[in-house]
Amino acid sequence: MASSGVRLMTQLARQFEERPEVRYGLTTMCIGIGMGGTVIWENPHYTGEAA
């Protein structure tokens, strides 16, 4: 599906809101023709507090 990367990023953004104690997230996607992409995201809601 062509929009799976957007879905993965949206899901991660929602999880960041729910879990402000998590600082980083990772999204990996298949680009096609044997290639892939990975993005490391930093949570804008990060508080630095343990759960």
Please report which helix (H) or strand (E) contains residue 20, including its range.
Answer: none
How far is the CA of 25 from the CAs of 13, 32, 33, 34, 38, in angstroms? 9, 23, 25, 23, 11
The pLDDT value given to residue 22: 94
For 25-46, write each residue's pLDDT tens digit: 999 888 778 888 899 999 999 9
Q: What is the pTM assigned to this prediction? A: 0.73
Comparing 18 with 29, the larger pLDDT belongs to: 18
* Mean pLDDT of the residues in the chain: 87
Half-sphere exposure of 8 (CA within 13 A, CB side): 16
Question: Is residue 1 scored above 60 in pLDDT?
Answer: no
Residue that the structure tokens 């960041």 belong to: 16
Handedness of CA 13, 15, 19, 22 (dihedral sign): negative
